Structure 1
Amino acid sequence: MSISHQSYTPPKYLQEDEVSQECKDLLSTLPKEKGWAEPHLYNYQGFWYLAWQFQGVLECQKYFQAQDTDILLISSPKCGTTWLKALAFTIINRNSHSISNDHEQKHPLFYNNPHKLVPHLELESHINNPIFEPSSFSSSPSRLFATHLPYISLPKSAKASSCKLVYICRDTKDTFISLWHFMNNLRSNHLGPNSLEEAFEMFCRGVSIFGPFWDHVLDYWKESKERPNKVLFLKYEEMREDPNFHVKRLAEFFGVPFSLEEEGSRVVEKITNLCSFENLSKLVVNKDGKLPSGVENKTFFRGGEVGDWKNYLSPEMVEQLNRLNEEKFRGSRLEL
């Protein structure tokens, strides 16, 4: 099975031959496999990265200094990152960016894709970058960042400090289908799309960006059980089922719970509506805009449906993923 894919050519700084010499030297020592979108994936600390992602990982580990008040939004790719960024940004900044008059379209989400509002640790240069300076977040109670890094690869300061980690996961089958669509949109024209069967085989072996998926999820699940005050573990499906409850849960975890006055003014519901897939996907910025990487904003709003995998996976594929879930999560009390 294949899908139509949009034309996309990664800018130079995202291409494998444009990474630093230091990164190239390290890459030459790492195990590698065929990539989903670019020539190769490289294994570092047990997880797989594109070359330019690996350079970002190294830079992040070397330079990022977490503060106790920081909040890191974490996920395996295609697990609800865009939605979580929108929600967290709006919750944290609700005093400086009021949503009471959102019909006037003054909120930053009307003019910015959520990925632009919340910097991604391994996708930003950490050298002389003002977004990592405390002064750039002076109007916000916390610095807010996102990452796809597995727990083992987080900067040491993120683990040692009192900064808070919010992890969102998603049904394994929906994660795979969403990732397959997304990575096909990033493939160069001459390559054509990856077949569903080829991508499925690689995903099941754990060979996908920031994969293996199961190890990524399980490590944060364990941390959330051992340190619940530091790590909040969320499930995408549960958030879709009761978004208002989880908006309040996030605010409490961030240390900025909603007041009785705010709840009486339906601020929670306003945040849920503003950040909903239905609202964000129809905004002009998310239909026509692009990120600095060249990725079109609309790529992040394909559907967001629960159970979309039913339109693509064969019974044999479903059985295989269910079996892998059982094997990988056995004894953890985690179900996806």
Structure 2
Amino acid sequence: MPPPNPEYLQQEESLTPESRELITTLPRQNGWFDSTHLYLYQGFWFQPDHLQAVISCQSHFQPLHSDVFLATYPKCGTTWLKAIIFTILNRKHFPPSSPNHPLLTANPHQLVLSLEIDLYAHNRLPTASTTSSPSRRFFSTHMPHASLPQPLSQRNKVVYACRSPKDTFVSLWHFMNKLRPQGAPERDMETAFRMFCDGAVGYGPFWDHVLGYWRRSLEEPERVLFVRYEDVKEEGAVQVRRMAEFLECGFSAEEEEEGVVDRILELSSFESMRGSEVNRVGRLGNGIENKHFFREGVVGDWKNCLSAQMAQELDGIVEEKFGGAGLVI
């Protein structure tokens, strides 16, 4: 028997009456699949169940001052950065060289829960202790900065990871087609590409999502750290130290001498996580197979998928959207 459709693909029928009433007032368009819709809220497009969760999170979530957050646009290294930061924060309790480290037996998405996908989905309200971290609480989110709960946006530390839009799109296209509803055809790349360029995808527009966090990182560098996926690939040790310093848990001289940074990178590497049994055969609570989060993980994979015309169009949008902001990705 084939596995059930992932939970998060359920649509309007799962919403509360209040949310159903709200979405009737919002601009709507077709989603990635013909049976789904997206709604425009606070300048960004959301699936209806994600939108309900975002609104609930905005109303109810009360962060602790010590809480840490990873924010990303989907498919910008979320899984990898969750693993790295979880290991940085919890290295006293779980040394990266430990044969029983949580990353060896659990997917990063099980260790670091998403505010709107895991905690507030389907009108659930989490308890204050909802976290798998024994040290500081650590959560993730795909919410744009403008949609973050106000207490979080004003006082907590946020690491924001961005990625080349060309690689982001290709990764998103592969991922979403793996999660398509039973019997639904794959979304062709040409149509998906047009949706991405127009900003008409979940949590899009990509450009506005990235710029919101980029500008806040310039205004409040002590609160928002902007990290490029490509930089972590090229100079992993430098970026791990940078994140640790930002999170006020830098590495001691003794840790440096013991090679803790290199061990963190090795444990959280794409190859290590893809090879673990839990990520080869496991499944998240919402039905998504763990293996779907580990496809290629390389920089420049877009060259194997996009036409020259597509690449040129995306480059033009990048120059138009980011040039004036001083952002190069």
Secondary structure of 1:124's counterpart equals: helix
1:137 Cα deviation from its structure 2 partner: 6.8
1:189 Cα deviation from its structure 2 partner: 2.4
Match of 2:12 among 13, 16, 19: 16
Indicate whether 1:206 and 2:209 are aligned: no
Indicate whether 1:114 and 2:108 are aligned: yes
Q: Which residue of 1 aligns with 2:43?
A: 46
1:183 Cα deviation from its structure 2 partner: 0.9
Structure-2 change in CA distance of 1:73 and 1:268 (3 Å): same
Indicate whether 1:234 and 2:241 are aligned: no
- Return the letter of the residue paired with 1:211: G
Structure-2 change in CA distance of 1:8 and 1:34 (3 Å): farther
Displaced runs of 4 or more, over 6 A: none
Question: Percent same amino acid among aligned pairs?
Answer: 47
Secondary structure of 1:316's counterpart equals: helix
Residues 278-317 of structure 1 correspond to what in structure 2 (within 5 A)?
278-317=271-310
Q: Which residue of 2 aligns with 1:143?
A: 137
Checking the alignment, whether the CA contact within 8 Å between 1:8 and 1:185 is kept in structure 2 is: no
Q: Which residue of 1 aligns with 2:172?
A: 179
Structure-2 change in CA distance of 1:128 and 1:28 (3 Å): closer
Secondary structure of 1:229's counterpart equals: coil
Secondary structure of 1:330's counterpart equals: helix
Structure-2 change in CA distance of 1:42 and 1:265 (3 Å): same
Match of 2:22 among 15, 21, 26: 26
Match of 1:79 among 73, 76, 81: 76
Moved more, 20-29 or 83-92: 20-29
Structure-2 change in CA distance of 1:295 and 1:330 (3 Å): same
Secondary structure of 1:189's counterpart equals: coil
5+ long unaligned stretches in structure 2 = none
- Return the letter of the residue paired with 1:30: L
1:16 Cα deviation from its structure 2 partner: 3.0
Structure-2 change in CA distance of 1:184 and 1:225 (3 Å): same
Q: Which residue of 1 aligns with 2:118?
A: 124
Residues 256-335 of structure 1 correspond to what in structure 2 (within 5 A)?
256-335=249-328
Give the distance between the partners of 1:185 and 1:35, measured in 2 at CA: 15
- Return the letter of the residue paired with 2:305: Y
1:139 Cα deviation from its structure 2 partner: 3.2
- Return the letter of the residue paired with 1:74: A
Residue by residue over 1:145-173, the C-alpha shift from the partner in whole angstroms, topping out at 9 and shown as x without a partner, is 10000011000111222x10100000010
Checking the alignment, whether the CA contact within 8 Å between 2:70 and 2:158 is kept in structure 1 is: yes
Checking the alignment, whether the CA contact within 8 Å between 1:281 and 1:298 is kept in structure 2 is: yes
Secondary structure of 1:72's counterpart equals: strand
Provide the alpha-carbon RMSD of the alignment: 1.7
1:13 Cα deviation from its structure 2 partner: 8.3
Count matched residues: 324
TM-score calculated relative to the size of structure 2: 0.95
Structure-2 change in CA distance of 1:166 and 1:23 (3 Å): same
TM-score calculated relative to the size of structure 1: 0.93
1:23 Cα deviation from its structure 2 partner: 1.1
